[in-house]
A = this chain, B = another copy of it.
Amino acid sequence: MSMSAPAHAPPLEELTHRLRRRERRVTAPRQAILEFLRRQTHPASRKEIFSALPRGVGDLATVYRSVQLLESMGMVQRFDFGDGVARYRLLAEGEDGHRHHLICRQCRTVVEVRECFAADLERQIARRNGYRAVSHRLEFFGLCPQCQGAEP
């Protein structure tokens, strides 16, 4: 066939099922967005998602609204790589999506970082300051091998 999705990608049916379960409609734009997202290995911007949609299906505003819905349902996770553009990736059912990245400052290549430094410290900081429901965001920035030795 074509454009194989990563092995771990949830099947499209499972994704649409999650929508129906919450009384959300399974529309052409939403299916196309989900189909696109399940093929990605890195977070995608909404403009990228829009550009990848089949001709005539979906509108940029619809992509924004759909992604927002998916985010509110916990089906995608949002990332901020510091360039003023939000990026999203699909989340497996039940997955919390906690993840970190190493981003090339020049070409924006993204590497996923497995480690998460101790949640103990997070708890400690929360307690020390009387904060609740504390989470964190941690991203690394650098120059990837290809971009070394020739900064603009």
A residues at B contact (CB < 8 Å):
80, 82, 102, 104-105, 111, 113, 115, 117-118, 121-122, 125-126, 129-145, 148
Query: A80-B82, A137-B82, A137-B139 given as contacts; is B117 within 8 A of A121 (CB)?
Result: yes
Across the interface, which residues of B come within 8 angstroms of A136, CB to CB? Answer: 138-141
Across the interface, which residues of B come within 8 angstroms of A138, CB to CB? Answer: 118, 136-138
How far apart sit A80 and B137, CA to CA, in the bound complex (Å)? 11
* Minimum Cβ distance to chain B for residue A28 (Å): 30
* Minimum Cβ distance to chain B for residue A30 (Å): 26
Query: A82-B80, A129-B102 given as contacts; is B134 within 8 A of A122 (CB)?
Result: no
Indicate which residue in B111, B125, B143, B148 contacts A140 across the interface (CB closer than 8 Å).
B125
Q: Is the CB of B141 within 8 A of A135?
A: yes
Question: Which residue of chain B has the shortest Cβ distance to A139 in the bound complex?
Answer: B137
